[in-house]
Amino acid sequence: MTTSQFQPGVVPGRLPAEDYCHAFADTAPPLTDHAARVAADRCYFCYDAPCTTACPSDIDVPLFIRQIATGQPEAAAVTILSQNIFGGMCARVCPTETLCEGACVREVAEGKPVEIGLLQRHATDKLQEQGVHPFSRAERTEFSVAVVGAGPAGLACAHRLAMKGHEVTVYDARLKPGGLNEYGIAAYKAPGGFAHKEVAWLLQIGGITVLENWQLGRNGTLEDLLEEHDAVFLGMGLAGVNALSIPGAEYATPATDYIAALRQAEDLSTLPVGRRVVVIGGGMTAVDAAVQAKLLGAETSTIVYRRSQPEMPASLHEQDHAQTHGVQIVPNATPVAIHKEDGGLVVEFARTATRDGKMTVLDDTIRFEADQVFTAIGQTLGATPEGLTITGGKIAIDAQGRTGLAKVWAGGDCATGGEDLTVTASAEGRDAAEDIHAFLMGA
Amino acid sequence: MANLASEFLGIKSPNPFWLASAPPTDKEYNVRRAYEAGWGGVVWKTLGMDGPPVVNVSGPRYGAIHGPDRTLLGLNNIELITDRPLEVNLREIKSVKRDYPDRALVVSLMVPCDEESWKFILGQVEDTGADGVELNFGCPHGMAERGMGAAVGQVPEYIEMVTRWVKQHSRMPCIVKLTPNITDIRKPAEAALRGGADAVSLINTINSITSVDLDLFAPEPTIDGMGTHGGYCGPAVKPIALNMVAEIARNPATRDLPISGIGGVTTWRDAAEFMALGASNVQVCTAVMTYGFRIVEEMIAGLSTFMDQKGFTSTSELVGLAVPKVTDWQYLNLNYTTKAVIAQEDCIKCGRCHVVCEDTSHQAIAMAEDRTVTVKEEDCVACNLCVDVCPTNCITMKEIAVGEMDARTGRPVGTPLNWTEHPNNPTGSGAACAKAPAE
């Protein structure tokens, strides 16, 4: 049954059933074979290419594009995946406009970079659609490694270790592996169950056992893992969220919870959404929540950010994406209280200004009526084992991913360094695996 | 707009853009469309002997080389001369010529190497009212195996003999079309002149295999699992054609022989280049087979604009302007010195000039940490490779004047000196100087 877009409150089915599929379709549709050849032809095969330098996982971009241009997208995929086993997902979710494509010399020349992200997707899709897993395991070793967290960092680490011949057990707190790829990113960035398929494809390497619904601290300790395995990699991401500390905070929902529910919904028409949605925050999570609420049929969806718009952590591309999907962005307003009134919620904000680099709160207040309020004001490290050094709310690691504890490595969002991107997590998992391997083999 | 009216061997056409003898000129239907589109002239696709028509393959007859976005750079064909009955072609030629008296219509011919065959066909063509004939001594595949086309064009004596028959049995202007599949293009041109040819046209297509099917392991185009060499044409052959045109234009023996330039002409600029090297007009095929007849509009507007800019009032003023500048290597000024200059504001820092100079040339372009590329004048030999590979065309060559220091040699640039005068040339006039220290 369809309810109207204008029905007050938080209700499911605001759109006709057949519209959900269209609303959540691929935000950047894949290139056709012809379009891929045209796009690949634009690459100049730069020396010491800036795109590769800009890539956190050091993918040899000019080489893989040349391989597409010469008719071997599958070989291109191997070039990509040998550096970044999540090359398929990164092709979909990477902020390419600030990484490879932002560095492309054709961005400088014409303001139109080579479509590296779409080309990467073209190549990896070709290989993965065939079910081909191009990597194999080295001769088995006697070592086993525990990986905590089945997100991009943990699985990239596990895959590389399995390739080296080690046995890997991945412990994950959720019911499905994939981490934020499965539970976090916006649905329209990886439709068609891609996150799930990619993990299944990755596990084809063999030698990796995934234990689901197993949380560090709840189901076992770091000591337990160290006893059972020869090394441990921690890649459990950020389990907690920052909470609002204002009157009425209990009326707000963490955006990450809502996004996870959306990602796992069998039928999006059953997911309730407010007529008027307010998202407090200014990062990618805020954009993902606000845009998806709009796509689910919210009449209005508003992002309210406490600082100025140029200071928003969400990239310009993400901001554009939000605004072209009808999301209103209100900068310079910090939440003061959420009031429950007849007919819904009212979120009260104080206007802010930035003076001398510092945010000051002004006397002026504005109020937004809302049916649903989300918070997207940052995620936090959950409970961590004792003995780890925590710096800036993250597990401190060195360049090889080593923590202060012997035989314990960490990477991804839970660890220092990186920008909390899938691509960074994947690269950190890979590099930690190389270091663990060197350690185990006594190098 | 400059008037492009052109006269070639007394044949008038409203512009110097003709269609070459090829698939686009095989039928009345195509030729009428070409004239309607604005083409100044047409060389009708080669007619052969009366009798059972020529048989073409019924599989693919073209193969191609592509650039980015499948831009067609080179085309190869294994098509033969017209496969339509002679009388049909003759009837159509007559009809078209009657309806388009202001356009050039030349008929390409290829019959066996006996005088009677040529005498017969010439009589037939003369009756159509066509403006002239072009002798196809160039087709490199199929017909050459039967002793015609390139089989004639590769033997200067045959060229001379057949040309003489043609001039003897016809009053029509006679153009001899030359094959590039020889070692010295001057010889067949001289033979044509001796035989009485009024002009030569060149180049015909080049023997080629465009590609190999790596599943069948067979050349493409593939006919039932087999392939044969075809004739290569299109933009890729233009440099070869320009050189051959220039060789004939600057050869004292043939310098007054009119030339119709053929080979990869695609734009007004290509046409102007052929004409500057001595061609009185140009013939086009691959470009219309790639884009259709309408491209002539760009060619007409482009050449007119160019002529206006240069102050030319007739295309004949352009013909041959570059011929005196074509010389032998030994006469180039070896003291002429240039250095690469990079316009930093236009550089996009792709680093290709650096890597090709580093890997394949003289290590004369440095690349800094911030990717800024700079020329090391002390190592730059001015080879021009950086200019050629730069995607934004931001590198130019700066001339170092006589007397100014060349950072590479550590000596001032000298006055003009060519190889014949150079002290290092053991047979040159300057050889004796080598014994004394050069100053």
Look at residue A166 in the predicted model and tell me its pLDDT: 98
Q: What residues of B are in contact with residue A106 (Cβ under 8 Å)? A: 348
Classify the complex by whether its ipTM is higher than 0.90, answering yes or no.
no
Nearest CA in chain B to A69: B68
Of the candidates B187, B102, B172, the one whose C-alpha atom is nearest the C-alpha of residue B137 is B187
Look at residue A356 in the predicted model and tell me its pLDDT: 84
Q: What residues of B are in contact with residue A45 (Cβ under 8 Å)? A: 352
Does A248 share its domain with A372? Answer: yes
Query: From chain A, which residues contact B within 8 Å (Cβ)?
Result: 37-38, 41-42, 44-50, 105-106, 108-109
Is the pLDDT at A297 greater than 90? The verdict is yes
Q: How far is B364 from chain A (nearest CA, A)?
A: 15
Amino acid at B71: T
Element (H, E) at B398: strand B395-400
Q: Calculate ∠ Cα B314-B318-B319, nearest 5°.
A: 110
DSSP string, A149-164: --SHHHHHHHHHHHHT
**Cβ separation B348–A47 shorter than 8 A:** no
Q: How far is B289 from chain A (nearest CA, A)?
A: 22
Q: What residues of B are in contact with residue A50 (Cβ under 8 Å)? A: 349, 371
CA A131 to chain centre: 24
Q: How far apart are the C-alpha atoms of A423 and A59, rounded to whole Å?
A: 10
Does B95 share its domain with B15? Answer: yes
Q: Tell how strand B72-77 and strand B62-66 pair up.
A: antiparallel
Residue A47 is nearest to which of B68, B352, B392, comparing CB atoms?
B352
State pLDDT tens for residues B263-292.
Answer: 999 999 999 999 999 999 999 999 999 999
Quote the tokens at residue A391: 């710096």
Nearest CA in chain A to B67: A41
C-beta of residue B137 within 8 angstroms of C-beta of residue B187 = no
Does A154 share its domain with A224? Answer: yes
Q: What residues of A are in contact with residue B68 (Cβ under 8 Å)? A: 38, 41-42
Residue partners of A35: CB distance under 8 A and separation at least 6? none
Does A333 share its domain with A263? Answer: yes
Residue partners of B423: CB distance under 8 A and separation at least 6? B430, B431, B433, B434, B438
CATH number of domain containing B179: 3.20.20.70
Q: Residues A246-266: what's their mean pLDDT? A: 95
Does residue B406 fall inside a structural domain? Answer: yes
Q: How far apart are the C-alpha atoms of A399 and A413, rounded to whole Å?
A: 15
Q: Residues B184-195: what's their mean pLDDT? A: 98
Q: What's the domain count of chain B?
A: 2
Does B38 share its domain with B154? Answer: yes
Question: What b/e readout covers A95-105, taking b as 16+ CB neighbours within 10 angstroms?
Answer: bbbbbbbbbbb
What does the CA dihedral A251, A256, A262, A263 come to, rounded to 10 degrees? -170
**Cβ separation A38–B69 shorter than 8 A:** yes
Q: How far is CA A301 from CA A196, A345, A371, B249, in A?
A: 29, 14, 10, 76
Of the candidates B182, B175, B183, B173, the one whose C-alpha atom is nearest the C-alpha of residue B153 is B182
In this complex, how many residue pairs, one in chain A and one in chain B, have their CB atoms less than 8 Å apart? 37
Work out the angle between the directed axes of helices A255-264 and A284-295 (0-180°, nearest 10): 50
Does B209 share its domain with B160? Answer: yes
Higher pLDDT, B35 or B67: B35
Question: pLDDT > 90: what percent of chain A?
Answer: 93
> At which of B325, B358, B393 does a domain end?
B325
Which of B141-155, B195-209, B234-248 is predicted with the least confidence, judged by mean pLDDT? B141-155
Nearest CA in chain B to A37: B69
DSSP string, B312-346: -SSGGGTTTTTGGG---GGGS-TT-EEEEEE-GGG
**Cβ separation A108–B354 shorter than 8 A:** no
Is the pLDDT at B250 greater than 50? The verdict is yes
Does A435 share its domain with A326? Answer: no
Residue A46 is nearest to which of B70, B351, B392, comparing CB atoms?
B351
**Cβ separation A47–B391 shorter than 8 A:** no
Residue B349 is nearest to which of A42, A45, A108, comparing CB atoms?
A108
Residue partners of B221: CB distance under 8 A and separation at least 6? B59, B60, B61, B62, B63, B76, B78, B210, B227, B230
Q: What's the domain count of chain A?
A: 3
Does residue B439 fall inside a structural domain? Answer: no
Does residue A93 fall inside a structural domain? Answer: yes
Q: How far apart are the C-alpha atoms of A74 and A349, rounded to whole Å?
A: 52
Beta strands in B229-347 (DSSP E): 230-233, 259-262, 279-284, 337-342
Q: How far is A65 from chain B (nearest CA, A)?
A: 13
Does residue A119 fall inside a structural domain? Answer: yes
How many helical (H) and strand (E) elements, i.e. helices and strands, does chain B have?
12, 22
Of the candidates A107, A65, A48, A69, the one whose C-alpha atom is nearest the C-alpha of residue B353 is A48
Quote the tokens at residue A368: 């937004």
Does residue A2 fall inside a structural domain? Answer: no
Beta strands in A245-356 (DSSP E): 252-254, 273-274, 276-281, 300-304, 327-330, 333-341, 344-355
State pLDDT tens for residues B121-167.
Answer: 999 999 999 999 999 998 888 888 888 888 999 999 999 999 999 99
Q: Tell how strand A394-395 and strand A408-410 pair up.
A: unpaired
Q: Residues A333-338: what's their mean pLDDT? A: 97
Does B187 share its domain with B110? Answer: yes
Does residue B438 fall inside a structural domain? Answer: no
Does B348 share its domain with B273? Answer: no
Q: How far apart are the C-alpha atoms of B263 and B241, rounded to whole Å?
A: 5
Is the pLDDT at B433 greater than 70? The verdict is no
Look at residue B36 in the predicted model and tell me its pLDDT: 98
Higher pLDDT, B138 or A285: A285
CATH number of domain containing A436: 3.50.50.60
Does residue A158 fall inside a structural domain? Answer: yes
Does A278 share its domain with A305? Answer: yes
Does B157 share its domain with B284? Answer: yes
Q: How far is A48 from chain B (nearest CA, A)?
A: 7
Q: How far is CA A48 from CA A82, A218, B154, B368, in A?
A: 19, 48, 50, 12
Look at residue B438 in the predicted model and tell me its pLDDT: 44
Does A230 share its domain with A314? Answer: no
Does B308 share its domain with B417? Answer: no
Nearest CA in chain A to B369: A48
Does residue A8 fall inside a structural domain? Answer: no
Q: Spot the catalytic one: B139, B285, B357, B380.
A: B139
> At which of A357, A378, A399 does a domain end?
A378
Beta strands in B128-225 (DSSP E): 132-136, 174-177, 199-202, 206-208, 211-213, 218-220
**Cβ separation A37–B70 shorter than 8 A:** yes
| B284 bridge partner residues | B19
C-beta of residue B153 within 8 angstroms of C-beta of residue B179 = yes
State pLDDT tens for residues A135-194.
Answer: 999 999 999 999 999 999 999 999 999 999 999 999 999 999 999 999 999 999 999 999
Amino acid at A37: R
Element (H, E) at A100: helix A100-103
Determine whether B139 is an active site residue: yes
| B11 bridge partner residues | B8
Cα Rg, chain B, nearest whole Å: 25
Q: What residues of A are in contact with residue B355 (Cβ under 8 Å)? A: 47-48
**Cβ separation B352–A37 shorter than 8 A:** no
Look at residue B432 in the predicted model and tell me its pLDDT: 54
> At which of A129, A159, A175 does a domain end?
A129
**Cβ separation A46–B69 shorter than 8 A:** no
C-beta of residue A148 within 8 angstroms of C-beta of residue A236 = yes
Does B221 share its domain with B348? Answer: no
Element (H, E) at A241: strand A240-241
Q: How far is A71 from chain B (nearest CA, A)?
A: 13
> At which of B325, B353, B381 does a domain end?
B325
Residue A46 is nearest to which of B68, B352, B392, comparing CB atoms?
B352
Label residue B437 by pLDDT band (50, 70, 90): very low
State pLDDT tens for residues A17-34.
Answer: 889 999 999 988 999 999
> At which of A363, A378, A393 does a domain end?
A378
Of the candidates A229, A64, A237, the one whose C-alpha atom is nearest the C-alpha of residue A156 is A237
Does residue A14 fall inside a structural domain? Answer: no
Amino acid at B317: E
Q: What residues of A are in contact with residue B70 (Cβ under 8 Å)? A: 37
At residue A376, φ and ψ (nearest 5 deg) are -140, 65
Q: Residues B167-180: what's their mean pLDDT? A: 97
Does residue A363 fall inside a structural domain? Answer: yes
Q: How far is B390 from chain A (nearest CA, A)?
A: 10
Does residue B283 fall inside a structural domain? Answer: yes
Of the candidates B205, B185, B88, the one whose C-alpha atom is nearest the C-alpha of residue B136 is B205
For residue B71, the 8-state DSSP code is -
Look at residue B148 in the predicted model and tell me its pLDDT: 87
Residue A372 is part of which domain span?
Answer: 241-378
Residue B33 DSSP SS3: helix
**Cβ separation B367–A106 shorter than 8 A:** no
Of the candidates B321, B318, B320, B278, the one whose C-alpha atom is nearest the C-alpha of residue B3 is B318
First to last CA, chain B: 55
Residue partners of A358: CB distance under 8 A and separation at least 6? none
Quote the tokens at residue B53: 């028509």
Nearest CA in chain B to A104: B350
Label residue B436 by pLDDT band (50, 70, 90): very low
Residue B282 is part of which domain span?
Answer: 6-325
Nearest CA in chain B to A33: B69
CATH number of domain containing A108: 1.10.1060.10
**Cβ separation A47–B351 shorter than 8 A:** yes
Does residue B233 fall inside a structural domain? Answer: yes
Element (H, E) at B65: strand B62-66
Does B273 share its domain with B346? Answer: no
Label residue B325 by pLDDT band (50, 70, 90): very high
Does A270 share its domain with A151? Answer: no
Q: What residues of A are in contact with residue B391 (Cβ under 8 Å)? A: 44, 105, 109
DSSP string, A395-415: E---TT-B-SSTTEEE-GGGB
Residue partners of B102: CB distance under 8 A and separation at least 6? B12, B13, B14
Look at residue A443 in the predicted model and tell me its pLDDT: 60
Residue B351 is nearest to which of A42, A48, A108, comparing CB atoms?
A48
Q: What residues of A are in contact with residue B392 (Cβ under 8 Å)? A: 109
Residue A44 is nearest to which of B70, B352, B371, comparing CB atoms?
B352
Which long-range CB contacts under 8 A does B325-333 form with residues at least 24 apart? B326/B246, B326/B249, B326/B250, B326/B277, B329/B419, B330/B418, B330/B419, B330/B420, B331/B418, B331/B419, B331/B420, B332/B418, B332/B419, B333/B416, B333/B417, B333/B418
Label residue A343 by pLDDT band (50, 70, 90): confident
Of the candidates A401, A404, A399, the one whose C-alpha atom is nearest the C-alpha of residue A414 is A401
What is chain B's mean pLDDT, rounded? 95
Does A181 share its domain with A285? Answer: no
**Cβ separation B392–A109 shorter than 8 A:** yes
Element (H, E) at B8: strand B6-8
Does B368 share its domain with B255? Answer: no
Residues shown for chain B? 439
Q: How far is A37 from chain B (nearest CA, A)?
A: 7
Q: How far is CA A307 from CA A37, A247, B422, in A?
A: 43, 21, 75
Does B217 share its domain with B74? Answer: yes
Does residue A225 fall inside a structural domain? Answer: yes
Q: Residues A327-347: what's their mean pLDDT? A: 95
Is the pLDDT at B439 greater than 50? The verdict is no
> At which of B275, B294, B325 does a domain end?
B325
Does B375 share its domain with B240? Answer: no
